[in-house]
Amino acid sequence: MSVDKSYKDKKVMSIGIISELTGLSERKIRYYEERKLIFPERTGKGTRKYSFSDVERLMEIADQIEDGVQTYEIKKELTKKQQRDERNKMIRGQINAQFNMRN
Amino acid sequence: MSVDKSYKDKKVMSIGIISELTGLSERKIRYYEERKLIFPERTGKGTRKYSFSDVERLMEIADQIEDGVQTYEIKKELTKKQQRDERNKMIRGQINAQFNMRN
DNA sequence: CGTGTAAGGAATTCTGACACG
DNA sequence: CGTGTAAGGAATTCTGACACG
C-alpha cells in the first residue's frame, strides 16, 4: 500500500548539488535544517543527503524568507501542516479498520 | 516539445551513492564508463554525476556481465540501439517538416 | 578481460565559532 | 535573526598503475 517513494523522495544528493540546484549557499541550507525546516538524511559518516522534494521545499523556504517571513513562522506553518497530515492519517486508519472488520 | 528531463534523467548523484544504490563497486562503475557503456556528467572540477536512469542502466549492465556477456558485446548492442533511435529521430523530423509545409 | 587495491593529490563536507547588522 | 567566512579535520573522488586469473 503506497511504499515506492520513487525518485522524487529518495535522499541521494549531497549539499553541493543542492546548492547548485537551488542557488542557495550551503550555509543557508544548513541553517534551515538547524531551524527544523528541512530534514536531510545522513550517510554513515555524516554527510547530508537530500531528495528532489527537498529541493522544492528549499525553493519555497527561500521565497518566504525573501518575503520577510522569519524561520520561526515558516516552522509554525510546517508544524500545522504536519498535524493536519497526522490527523488525516489517523482517520484513514480508522476507516480501514472499519472496512477490514466487514470482511 | 518534450524538454523536461524531470528527475529521472537529472545527473545529480556522486559515485558513492551510485555504488550504494546499485551494489556495484566504484571500480566497476568507472570501468563501465571507460568501456563507453554509461555516460555520467562531470562537475566543474571533475567529479562524476549520475542520474536514476544511470542506476537502471547499470543494473542492466551488471545483469549482462553476470551472464557472461562481454563489455564489447554490450557496447555493440547499445550502438545498435542508438542508431535505431537516430533513424527514428530523423524520420520524425521529416514528418514534421512535411507537416509544417502544409501550414 | 574484468576487477581489486595501494598511492597521492585535489575537492567536498562537517562542526563550532566569530562577525555583522 | 540570517548569513558570511576562516579553521582544521575527516571523508570522498580522481587518475594511473600494478596485480591476478
**Helix orientation angle between A26-34 and A15-22, rounded to the nearest 10 degrees:** 100
Say which DSSP state A6 is in. Answer: T
Amino acid at A71: T
Distance CA B41, CA B37 (A): 13
Chain D positions with a protein C-beta closer than 7 Å: 1-5, 10-15
Amino acid at B37: L
pLDDT tens digits, chain A, 103 residues: what are they? Answer: 556 668 999 999 999 999 999 999 999 999 999 999 999 999 999 999 999 999 999 999 999 999 999 999 999 999 999 999 999 889 888 877 776 665 5
What are the residues whose beta carbons fall under 8 Å from the beta carbon of B36, sequence distance 6 or more? B75, B78
Cell of A6: 520513487
Q: What is the pLDDT of residue A94?
A: 83
**Are A12 and B8 an interchain contact pair (Cβ–Cβ within 8 Å)?**
no
What nucleotide is nearest A29 when CA is compared to C1'? D3
Q: pLDDT tens-digit profile of B9-18?
A: 999 999 999 9
Residue pair A43/B42 in contact (Cβ under 8 Å)? The answer is no
Q: What is the pLDDT of residue A101?
A: 65
**Are A7 and B12 an interchain contact pair (Cβ–Cβ within 8 Å)?**
no
Q: Is the pLDDT of residue B103 over 70?
A: no
Q: What is the 3-state secondary structure (H, E, C) of A25-37?
A: CHHHHHHHHHCCC
A57-88 core/surface letters (b: 16 or more CB in 10 A; e: else): bbeebbebbeeeeebeebeeebeeeeeeeeee
Distance from CA of A52 to the nearest CA of B (A): 7
Q: What is the pLDDT of residue A83?
A: 92
Residue pair B41/B48 in contact (Cβ under 8 Å)? The answer is yes
Q: What is the pLDDT of residue B98?
A: 76
Distance CA A87, CA B55 (A): 37
Residue pair A11/B17 in contact (Cβ under 8 Å)? The answer is no
What nucleotide is nearest A43 when CA is compared to C1'? D11
Q: What is the pLDDT of residue A98?
A: 75
Helices (H), A23-70: 26-34, 52-66
Enter the pTM of the model. Answer: 0.89
Q: What is the pLDDT of residue B102?
A: 58
